[in-house]
Amino acid sequence: MGKSLIIAEKPSVAQDIVRALTPVAGKFDKQADHFENDQYVVTSAVGHLVEIKAPEEFDVKRGKWSFANLPVVPPHFDLAPIDKAKSRLSAVVKLVKRKDVTELINACDAGREGELIFRLIVQYADGGKGKLDKPVRRLWLQSMTPQAIRDGFAQLRSDQQMQGLADAARSRSEADWLVGINGTRAMTAFNSRDGGFFLTTVGRVQTPTLSIVVEREEKIRKHVARDYWEIKGQFAAKAGEYEGKWFDPGFRKNDDLERRADRLWTAAEANAIAEACRNQPATVTEEAKPSTQASPLLYDLTTLQREANSRFGFSAKTTLSLAQALYEKHKVLTYPRTDSRALPEDYVGVVKQTMEMIASEDLPGPLRELAGHARKALNDGYVKPTKRVFDNSKVSDHFAIIPTLQAPRSLTDIEAKLYDMVVKRFLAVFYPSAEFMVTTRISTISNQGKDYKFQTNGKVLVRPGWLAVYGREAQEDDANLVPVDKGEVVRTESVDVNQLKTKPPARYTEATLLSAMEGAGKLIDDDELREAMAEKGLGTPATRAQTIEGLILEKYMLREGRELVPTAKAFQLMTLLRGLDIPDLTKPELTGQWEYQLAEMEHGRLNRDKFMAEIAKMAERIVKKAKEYDRDTIPGDYATLSTPCPKCGGKVKENYRRFACVGNETPANPGCGFSISKIPGGRAFEIAEADALLRDKKIGPLEGFRSKAGWPFTAELKLAFDDETDNWKLEFDFGEDAKKAEGDGEPVDFGDQASLGSCPKCKGKVFEHGSNYVCEHAVGANTTCDFKTGKIILQQPVPREQVHKLLTEGKTDLLENFVSNKTRRKFKARLVYDTKEGKVSFEFEPRAAKAPAKKAARKAA
C-alpha cells in the first residue's frame, strides 16, 4: 500500500500535523528529516527552497549589465536551489521520488505563496520531464488547532480546484522577476552611463508604492502656509456657559481645498465680525437627531496592521509576525494573511462556541474583563446569521481573523495586545449599534441688519451598544451640552479672534500607507468603499508589509517616529521614471490593475498566458524608454542650494546627476564649472547634506555608500581644492592622516589639550584626536595600546563630558539619539566600557518588571 507525502511550509507546522494525525492515523516515527507511519510521510520546507531564474543563455551577470543585454524575456523559467536551503531541498526531493510515495499532499500555508513553494519543489523534483505523475491534493487550513487540522484532512481539495491559485502564484513570481530584472537593469544602466555602478532597484509593487509616498512629500514641500482666522464666542445661558464657532451659512466648496465655512482670510474681516458680536444677545435654535454607529467590521490583515500601527506604533511587519505566531505557535487566531472581513454563513455555531470559550476560560490579565461581554452576547442572543458578518460572497480563500476555540496561555505583552484587539473586535461586531443623540445648536447675533451665526455641536451617548466592549459605558463629560430653554436669549460673554496657519497634508505612516496601497493610491477611510477597491490594491495583505520593509532596506524611505519619509534616492528615481515617461511604474492604479488580474486568475476567470504576455510587453516598454532616451538630462523639479558656490559665490543648482554652479544664470555669468556628483559611492545626497558640505567643506561620517564590488561602507566627505583644475572637487575622507598618526607615523602632540581621563586598558591619558577619542599610547610611533572610541556613534554625537564620565565612572548618562543601522529607528542607551570584550558597548535601561501571571484555577474532576 502506497503512502501520502505531506509537505508543510515550516518544521513547526509539520510537527503540529503529526500531533493532530497521531490519534486517528497511529504513531509516527521521527527520522532525521521527516516523520513516518504506515499511512503518511510528513516533511517540511523552510519557506522557499527553490527560486526561478532565466535559462543559462538568457542570464546576464551583474558585471555585464548594459542596454546591449536588455530586455531579458526568456521563453520559460528554469529553477535553481536557494543556497542556504540545498540540504533541505535534497531531503524533500528524495522523499517525493520514493517509490512507495504514491500521493503528494500540499500542506504549505493556505495562500498564493504557499502554493508556489510546493509547486516549485515538485517541479524541481520532476526535473521538467513530466514523469513524476503523482496525484496532488491540497490541505487548506483556517486554524492550526488539532481539530481544525483533522477537519482539513477530511476535506482535502483536488489539484484541479487549486489550478487557478497555482497559475496566479507562478504569474506573480514571474511578473515580479521580469519587471524587477528589466527595470532595475535598465535604470542602473541609465544611471551608470557616465561611469561607476549606481544600482537603481525598481519593482512591480514597490515602485508605485514609493510613488505614493514621494507625491505626498512633494505636496508637503510645495505647501505655502496661509494665514487664516477663526472666531469663537462664549455664550451664557441660564444653565451655564457653552462655546460656539462662527461660520458662513452661504459657504460653497470650490477648487481651493483649504477653504472652510469657519475660516476667514483677512484679519480686518475677522475683527469686524468679532466687534459686531461683542456684548450682543444671541437667539438660539437647535436640532437634535438620534444617530447610530455600528461596530467596525471584523479584521482582515491590512486593517489589523493599520490599527496596530495607529494604536501601538507596530510596523506592518511586526503585526504580521505577531499574528502569524498567534496562529501558528499559540493556535489562538485563525489564518492571518486574509483579505476578507466576513465569516462563512455556516459558521454561526463555531462563533457561539468561541464566545463560550471567552466567557468561561480564565484568560490572562486584561483579557479576563472580556468574559462578561462574551457571556452577555450569548445570554442576550446577539449572535445571529446577519449578512454583515456571515456572507459567503465576501469570503475568498480565507475568512476574517477571529479567535479560535483554543484559550491563550503564556502570551508575551505585545502578542497579548494584538490578541486583545482581535477578541474585542470579534465581540463588538455582534453587539448592537451605539446610539447617540446628536445636537446642532446655532446661536445667532443680529446687529445693524446683519446676522452672525455660531455653531455648537453636542453628541450624547444614549446606549453604548458595542462601545461597552471597549470600555465606553457612559458619555465623557466634555461632550455634554448645557441645555437652553425654548426661546431663551443667551448673553455673549466674549468673542475671540484666533490667527492660525494652514498646514500641509500629513506624511504617511504605515497605517495610512497600507490604506493607500489597498486602494491603489487613494487614501480611503470608509470601510465599505475600501473593501470595493481592495481587489485593485497594490500587493496583497500578505505582501504589503514586506514591500514597505523593502523600500526602507533599499534606503528609499526612512522611519522618523511613525512617519515614513522618502529620501533623495527616492526623489531621484521618481524624477527618472517621470522623465522617461514610464507610467507603469509611477501610477499605482496601473499596477493595482495587474493585482486585480491576478485575483481574477486565482478564480479561473483570466488566462495565465494572456497576463504574462502583457507583463512581458511592460518589461520591454520600460527598457525601450530608457534605451532610447537621448537628451542630456532628465527634466524635473530641481532645488537650488542655499549655500553659494565655494569657487565664485554663484548659485548652485541641482540637475539630474549633479549639483552644479550656474553663476547668476545669465549668458555673461553661466557658472564657474564647479560641480559635484549627487550620488557619490551610490548614495544620494539629501539637499541639507549638500548644503552642509558646501558650507563646511566636509560632512560625515555618513552611512550607505557602496564600493564598486557592492560592499557597504561609511565615510566622511570633503571638498578639496584641486590645483590642476583650479576648482574644488569632492573626495572621500577615510582619515588617512589620522591612520598614519595612529600607526608608526609622526608623534602626536596633545600638549594643548586637557586629558579626559585614564585609559581603561593601559591607564594612559585619553585625548580627542581626529574623529575619535584615543589613548595617547594608541597613536604616533611605537603604539602599545589600541583604545579608541568614536566622537559620533550611530549618529549620536558623544560630547567630551560624557567621555570623561565614561572613563571616570564607567558609563555615560542615558543618550537618546542613537539610530539603529538595521531598523533606522532611534534608541536610548548608555555607553559602558566592557572589560571582558575590551571595548565600549551599549547598556540599555532595564524594562519594568512584569507582574507574575496568575495560574488558572484547576477545574474539579
DSSP H or E stretch at residue 102: strand 101-107
The dihedral formed by the CA atoms of 815, 819, 823 and 827, expressed in degrees to the nearest 10: 10
Q: How far is CA 82 from CA 45, 53, 120, 535, in A?
A: 12, 11, 12, 32
How far is Cα of residue 2 from the mean position of the Cα atoms in its chain?
A: 47
CA torsion through residues 297, 303, 309, 310, sign: negative
Q: In one letter, which amino acid is 341?
A: R
The answer to whether the beta carbons of residues 313 and 521 sit under 8 Å apart is: no
DSSP of 723-780: TTTTEEEEEEE--HHHHHHHTTSS----TTS----B-TTT--BEEEETTEEEEGGGSS
What the block records as the C-alpha cell of 455 is 455653531
Alpha-carbon distance of 54 to 75, in angstroms, equals 9
Alpha-carbon distance of 93 to 709, in angstroms, equals 35
Alpha-carbon distance of 460 to 290, in angstroms, equals 10
Give the up-direction half-sphere exposure of residue 825: CA atoms within 13 A in the CB hemisphere. Answer: 10
How far is Cα of residue 597 from the mean position of the Cα atoms in its chain?
A: 24
Dihedral class, residue 374 (left if φ above 0, else alpha if ψ from -120 to 50, else beta): alpha
Alpha-carbon distance of 397 to 400, in angstroms, equals 10
**Rg of the chain on CA atoms, in Å:** 33
Q: Give residue for cell 477545574.
A: 859
Contacts of 47 (CB under 8 A, 6+ apart): 9, 10, 85, 117
In DSSP terms, which residues pair with 702 in a beta bridge? 715
3-class secondary-structure state, position 303: helix
Longest dimension (CA), the chain: 101
The answer to whether the beta carbons of residues 721 and 728 sit under 8 Å apart is: yes
DSSP H or E stretch at residue 505: none
In DSSP terms, which residues pair with 42 in a beta bridge? 6, 35
596 is catalytic: no
The answer to whether the beta carbons of residues 96 and 5 sit under 8 Å apart is: yes
**Cis check: omega of the bond before 146, within 30 degrees of 0:** no
Q: What is the 3-state secondary structure (H, E, C) of 800-846?
A: HHHHHHHHHHCECCCEEEEECCCCCCEEEEEEEEECCCCEEEEECCC
Q: Give residue for cell 560624557.
A: 802
* Among 242, 335, 347, 773, the one annotated catalytic: 335
Give the up-direction half-sphere exposure of residue 780: CA atoms within 13 A in the CB hemisphere. Answer: 12
Alpha-carbon distance of 857 to 409, in angstroms, equals 13
The answer to whether the beta carbons of residues 16 and 52 sit under 8 Å apart is: no
Q: In one letter, which amino acid is 737?
A: D
In DSSP terms, which residues pair with 793 in a beta bridge? 796
Q: In one letter, which amino acid is 752?
A: D
DSSP H or E stretch at residue 174: helix 163-191
Alpha-carbon distance of 518 to 511, in angstroms, equals 11
Dihedral pair phi/psi, residue 658, rounded to 5°? -140, 165
CA torsion through residues 146, 149, 154, 155, sign: positive
List, in sequence order, the alpha helices (H) in 603-729: 608-628, 687-696
The answer to whether the beta carbons of residues 78 and 54 sit under 8 Å apart is: yes
Nearest to 823 by CA among 470, 178, 313, 135: 313
Active-site residues: which are they? 335
